[in-house]
Amino acid sequence: MIRRLTSLCLGLLLLVPSAFAVPQASVDLVIENVTVIDGTGAAPRGPLDVLVADGKIVALEDTGTGETLASARRVDGTGRFLIPGLIDMHAHVSLGPVRMEMNDGVPAMRLEPEPAVPVTSFDLLLEHGVTTIRDPGGATEQVVALRDAQRRGDLQAPDMYVAGNVIDRTAFEGLTETFADETELRGIIRAQAAAGVDFVKLYVTLTPDLMAAAVDEAHRAGVKTVAHTLMTSWTDAAELGLDAIVHILPGSPELLPEAQRPAYMQYMVGGTQFMFTWFEYVDLDGPEITQMVEALVANDVTADPTLVMWETMVRGDDPEVVESPWLSRVPSSMLENWQTTFNMNPGWSAADFERGRAALPVALELAKRLHEAGVVLTAGTDANNPWVVPGASLHRELELLVEAGIPELEVLRIATHNGAQVLGELDQFGTVEPGKRADLVLLEADPSADIRATRRIAQVYQAGKPISR
């Protein structure tokens, strides 16, 4: 009997460890009578009282079972739903207008810094419940400085994990850092690691030999790698040790049926139409894609589909996209740039847009298959690229993942738990559990029944502090 009682007590302690470790008097926030969707994929639970002290969740208690905490700020969660803070794993916060120039007859792109972009981006992200971001590419010194300012408490912004300048062989002034050979490539990676980046972003022109060198050097320097690949296939990149893939567009001819490759490669020398053409030629049941998915799973490569970026590209002629009310919050210089100069579909005809929209379901199906095969997906947007408004776009990304056929609870896990897992911070945030940072979003409706409820935000908390909305 004593042994059974001892086991029972130990079990109860494991259920609510922080309730015993933290004095009740230190609790400064209680969200009462709320239904909790904890981000693990588990079904909603409640009603519960969620207790927060010093920026961390200390207990989840059945409503009415704990003592009244007169000193704590009390929030009525009746009829409401609590989820972890959302994580956008592809948010560029330091972009500006893109200018196209001709240098000796060769087109060149230049990024103009826009000081208003980070400020506006941070406000929009937090307002939409995004409490953490991965920024996969910006001016190295700037993004590291922004991250450090946020962590010191000097800047109200989502918690940031950053890459520096995108590493590529194509010059894009203000965005990419180019190299002539492998020696220079390795030197760039060492310099970015020394500057304090959390990971390096590798880009489309890296061939397999250069991808291998980049991954090797990054791992030697203690930083992870994320890549938008093209000249290296997803299969090869996975086998070379790449940590994370971004964008749902594999793009490589090697992943198409061999008979389709010559026709597809004719599109690669033209405009951006090749992006949807790849989906017209791909065989998702073919050996190329089967091998690719197996390689991603076997090598623990994560994927960030950014479906919303793809959708805005193929619907770039749709008023619902290019006249969205959220565009009123975008800095005027950026909006003017998207309307007149910089977009992802230059020169597209009406037929091109129609073909692009017809290819979108194939992209959604690929995302679903990756998820079902065991590839760890995250939720990202490519924010601050044309028509992709920070914050608002992440909610559309979640809707597209549901449209792809992934259940709502799994999509919520992708947007919270999985992001923290990929960042290596799951012990710190990403779920609603005792001991985790109190990054929380209080919703007016149930997102496990309808993912669109993530837009119905009553309050956002970052480390237990309410964010003004």
**Domain range annotation of the chain:** 17-85+430-467, 87-422
Helix (H) or strand (E) holding 268: helix 261-268
Spell 146-162 as b/e; 16+ CB within 10 A means b: bbeebeeeebebbbbbb
Give CA–CA dist 214/398, Å, rounded. Answer: 32
Query: How high is the pLDDT of residue 67?
Result: 62
Q: What is the DSSP letter of 271?
A: S
In order along its 469 residues, the chain shows pLDDT tens digits of 333 333 333 333 333 333 334 455 589 999 999 999 999 999 999 999 999 999 999 999 998 776 656 678 999 999 999 999 999 999 999 999 999 876 776 678 899 989 999 999 999 999 999 999 999 999 999 999 999 999 999 999 999 999 999 999 999 999 999 999 999 999 999 999 999 999 999 999 999 999 999 999 999 999 999 999 999 999 999 999 999 999 999 999 999 999 999 999 999 988 999 999 999 999 999 999 999 999 999 999 999 999 999 999 999 999 999 999 999 999 999 999 999 999 999 999 999 999 999 999 999 999 999 999 999 999 999 999 999 999 999 999 999 999 999 999 999 999 999 999 999 999 999 999 999 999 999 999 999 999 999 999 999 999 999 998 7
Give CA–CA dist 272/278, Å, rounded. Answer: 11
Q: What value, to the nearest 5°, has the Cα angle with vertex 62 and ends 60 and 67? A: 85
Query: How high is the pLDDT of residue 15?
Result: 38
Query: How high is the pLDDT of residue 134?
Result: 98
Q: Tell me the two tokens of residue 75.
A: 């929030």
The torsion of the CA quartet 139, 142, 143, 144, rounded to 10 degrees, works out to 120
* CA atoms lying within 13 Å on the CB side of residue 10: 6
**162 and 137 in contact (C-beta within 8 Å)?**
no
Query: How high is the pLDDT of residue 66?
Result: 62
Query: How high is the pLDDT of residue 447?
Result: 98
Give CA–CA dist 339/331, Å, rounded. Answer: 13
- Domain covering 87-422, topology: TIM Barrel (3.20.20)
DSSP per residue over 125-177, as a string?
A: HHHTTEEEEEE--S-HHHHHHHHHHHHHTSS-S-EEEE--SEE-SS-EETTEE
Confidence (pTM)? 0.93
Give CA–CA dist 258/433, Å, rounded. Answer: 49
**452 and 460 in contact (C-beta within 8 Å)?**
no
Query: How high is the pLDDT of residue 200?
Result: 98
Give CA–CA dist 335/221, Å, rounded. Answer: 38
The answer for residues whose C-beta is within 8 angstroms of residue 323's C-beta and 6 or more apart is none
- Domain covering 17-85+430-467, topology: Urease, subunit C; domain 1 (2.30.40)
Measure Cα distances from 248 to 134, 240, 266, 297, 311 in Å: 17, 19, 21, 16, 11
Q: What is the DSSP letter of 40?
A: S
